[in-house]
Structure 1
Amino acid sequence: MSQQQRDALDALLRSAPRAQTRPAPEQQRTGFAAIMTRPAPEGVATRETVLGGRPALEFKPVAVATPRGHLLYLHGGGYVIGSPETHTALTGELARRSGLLATSVDYRLAPEHPFPAAVDDGLAAYRELLAAGTDPQAIVMAGDSAGAGLSLATLLAARDAGLPQPAAVVLFSPWVDLTLDGASMRTKQDADPIFIEDDLRTFADFYVAAGDRAQPLASPLFADLTGLPPLLIQVGANELLLDDAVRLAGRAGADNVEVTLEIGPGLPHVFQHHYGNLDEAGAALDRAAHFLNAHLSSARAELVH
Structure 2
Amino acid sequence: MDTLLTIEHLHKKFGSLHAVNDVSFTINKGSVYGILGPNGSGKSTTLGIILNVVNKTSGNFFWFDGNISTHEALKKVGAIIERPNFYPYMTAVDNLKLVCKIKNISYENIEKRLEQVNLLERKDSKFSTFSLGMKQRLAIASALLNDPEILILDEPTNGLDPKGIHEIRQIIQQISKTGTTILLASHLLDEVEKVCDHVIVLQKGKMLYSGPVDEMGIHSDTIIIETAEKDERVSKLLSQINGVSKFEKDQEKWVLDVDKDIETKFINQFFIDHDIILSHLEKRKTKLEEKFLHLTDK
Is the TM-score greater than 0.5?
A: no
Work out which structure has the larger RCO, using CA pairs closer than 8 Å and 6 or more positions apart in sequence.
Answer: 2
Give TM-score, length-normalised by structure 2. Answer: 0.28
> Larger % of strand: which?
2
> Larger % of helix: which?
1
Give TM-score, length-normalised by structure 1. Answer: 0.27
Q: Which has the larger radius of gyration?
A: 2
